[in-house]
Amino acid sequence: MRVLFSPDVFVTQRFGGVSRYFAELHTELVKLGVDARLFSGLHDNAHLRGGRTLLGKLPLRPRLFLSGQAFRCYAAAQRAAHILHPTYYSAEAFGRGPHVCTFYDLIHHKYPGQFANDTTAERQRLWARRADRIIAISHATARDLVCMLGVPEKTISVIHLGVRVPRPRTQRQADDYVLYVGNRGGYKNWRIVVEALRDPQLRDLRLVCSGGGPATREEQALLESRRMAARVTFVAADDVALSRYYRGALGLVYPSLYEGFGLPPLEAMAEGVPVVAARAASIPEVVGDAALLFDPREVDDLVQALRRLLDASIREGLQKRGPERARMFSWESTARKTADVYRSLR
């Protein structure tokens, strides 16, 4: 059985949950003896070895086009029977052979106004019809596929993402900040964290934001109007630095209104970091009872959760349950279940 992964996401992402998923999936599939071939194209992705080629300095659209065309030629030249697994929702299929498509979320259908001039929703509709089998990364995403795109349940396999739980470290010394990881716009609901931290009982807490780039003018204006500018820091971090920020945080705060899975809470729990997360979409499915949940539309509810985070006994309980919960989500399990999907198409 040969599996070919398209280059799409490795060309468009330098860092990111989707490219991490496929890099980890490929690694574990090979360990299981699956002939999995990752066609990375003209990439600049941090999760792959080798970095970008000289042609990788081309602008994004030409790189994506050239990588896609090269992959189609590569796929067409295969003599052995093979399965095609696009890494994102390509504009068209890649030729002969069954196709497996992973659906991460349906955010473009749920909040279409936040994605102007974006064709992802249209391409998702194409793959909902075209794919021979669909992998949903959570039961929440599977329900959305059925309800919003009319995908038959029998064609969907729910396969959770994974995480690598590090060896236990010496007792970590938590700093006076909570960590926010990821983009901050729209449904990510970052502003509620700023509002919650204005509570008098939380005045000694700082907020460190990793990912999503530097503060926008609008974000900086919000911080200044709320007198929060001095308490909020924006940092860029690779995997090593991000792990350090996790370990130093009093906790992770994850206020998103919608996620297809949500890797940051799982990564935090794996590091033994307490998590305060939104009670929304797939997030409770991932964190279980190992996090403090709150209504992401209620500032007061987040305030109460963050106040609880200040209690050392509550943090201690979360630090214990977090790694236990994270061990339920392994990349080896992700790969094994994915290989079963491939085998069902032989």
State pLDDT tens for residues 47-92: 776 555 555 577 888 888 888 888 999 998 998 889 999 999 987 7
Show me where the domains of the chain are located.
Answer: 2-162+330-343, 177-326
Of the listed ranges 52-66, 93-107, 171-185, the least confidently predicted one is 52-66
Instruction: Identify residue 297 by its one-letter amino acid code.
Output: R
State pLDDT tens for residues 297-313: 999 999 999 999 999 99
Count the neighbouring beta carbons within 10 Å of the beta carbon of residue 102.
Answer: 27
Contacts of 8 (CB under 8 A, 6+ apart): 64, 67, 68, 86, 87, 88, 90
For residue 171, pLDDT beyond 70: no
- The whole-model pTM stands at 0.92
CA distances from 330 to 141, 158, 326 (A): 19, 14, 8
Task: Domain 2-162+330-343: give its CATH superfamily.
Answer: Glycogen Phosphorylase B; (3.40.50.2000)
pLDDT confidence of residue 93:
78
- The fold adopted by the segment(s) 177-326 is Rossmann fold (3.40.50)
State pLDDT tens for residues 10-22: 888 877 889 999 9
Whether 16 contacts 87, CB under 8 Å: no
Q: Three-class SS of residue 83?
A: strand
Q: What is the torsion angle, in degrees rounded to the nearest 10, for the CA atoms of residue 330, residue 334, residue 337 and residue 340?
A: -130
Whether 30 contacts 36, CB under 8 Å: yes
